[in-house]
A and B are shown apart, each in its own frame.
Chain A
Amino acid sequence: SQQGEEDPQALSIQEGENATMNCSYKTSINNLQWYRQNSGRGLVHLILIRSNEREKHSGRLRVTLDTSKKSSSLLITASRAADTASYFCATLKDKGAQKLVFGQGTRLTINP
């Protein structure tokens, strides 16, 4: 079963705008990770946030984590056409089987 659920499923914005994607999960986690996938390619790790962290930055990326709401958001600032891709959250549960579980992803399109 899918642990993480991304919202929205698809997002289309103009270049230069900010893009926000959300991820909700069901059980308590050790950490949450965001990955990016260009069409037809493998996934690339973007950022990891641990359960005791609330916010993390990496370049134009900002990730927040609210463990009380079991949700995370990924913000991409000043978007570029090259940011067009699918974005996935993945959660590592803090109990039980230690494996990453991926959501279904958000398809982001940046229009020039």
Chain B
Amino acid sequence: DVKVTQSSRYLVKRTGEKVFLECVQDMDHENMFWYRQDPGLGLRLIYFSYDVKMKEKGDIPEGYSVSREKKERFSLILESASTNQTSMYLCASSGSYLTGELFFGEGSRLTVL
């Protein structure tokens, strides 16, 4: 089975802190994604990557950056966390960018105080 592992299920950070959310997949997928999920807004795409060292902005990239140094790992970085970044963050991977299903991790619930 495909496994997508997010490093932390729950995090509490303070405003201004730098935050790293790590995601690792074990199926050699080229494509990886970061979404955030908020009540009433559904899932919104932050960034995605279709190859090592490649990245593309999603719908809401402001305040975030990403890193993909190895194929299996895709990191989401909040350079200076703010309270409006309190959310559930979901990582996903896909073997087929255009037609394939997404495999999601369990999510990381981030609270910024």
A residues lining the B interface (CB < 8 Å): 1-2, 30-31, 33, 35, 40-45, 48, 50, 88, 90, 92, 97-105
Query: Which of chain B's residues have a CB closer than 8 A to the CB of A44?
Result: 104
B61 at the interface (CB under 8 A from A): no
Would you call B58 and A99 a contact (CB within 8 A)?
A: yes
Query: Which of chain A's residues have a CB closer than 8 A to the CB of B58?
Result: 99
Query: Which of chain A's residues have a CB closer than 8 A to the CB of B101?
Result: 33, 45, 48
7 smallest CB-CB distances across A and B, nearest first, come from A42-B104, A45-B101, A104-B42, A102-B43, A43-B104, A42-B106, A102-B42
Would you call B43 and A88 a contact (CB within 8 A)?
A: yes
B77 at the interface (CB under 8 A from A): no
Query: Which of chain B's residues have a CB closer than 8 A to the CB of A99?
Result: 33, 45, 48, 58
B12 at the interface (CB under 8 A from A): no
Would you call A92 and B99 a contact (CB within 8 A)?
A: yes
Would you call A45 and B102 a contact (CB within 8 A)?
A: yes
Would you call A101 and B104 a contact (CB within 8 A)?
A: no
Contact of A31 among B4, B97, B99 (CB under 8 A): B99
Would you call A48 and B42 a contact (CB within 8 A)?
A: no
The CA-CA distance from A42 to B103 in the complex, in Å, is 9
CB closest residue in chain A, given B91: A42
A-B contact pairs, 21 of them (CB 8 A): A1-B59, A33-B101, A41-B106, A41-B107, A42-B107, A43-B43, A43-B102, A44-B104, A45-B102, A48-B99, A92-B98, A92-B99, A99-B33, A99-B45, A99-B48, A100-B102, A101-B45, A102-B42, A102-B44, A103-B42, A104-B42
Query: Which of chain A's residues have a CB closer than 8 A to the CB of B33?
Result: 99-100
The CA-CA distance from A109 to B40 in the complex, in Å, is 18
Q: A43-B102, A98-B97 are in contact. List 14 more A-B contacts (CB 8 A).
A: A33-B101, A35-B104, A41-B106, A42-B4, A42-B104, A43-B43, A43-B104, A45-B102, A45-B103, A48-B101, A88-B42, A102-B44, A103-B42, A105-B42
Q: How far is the CB of A38 from chain B (nearest CB, A)?
A: 10
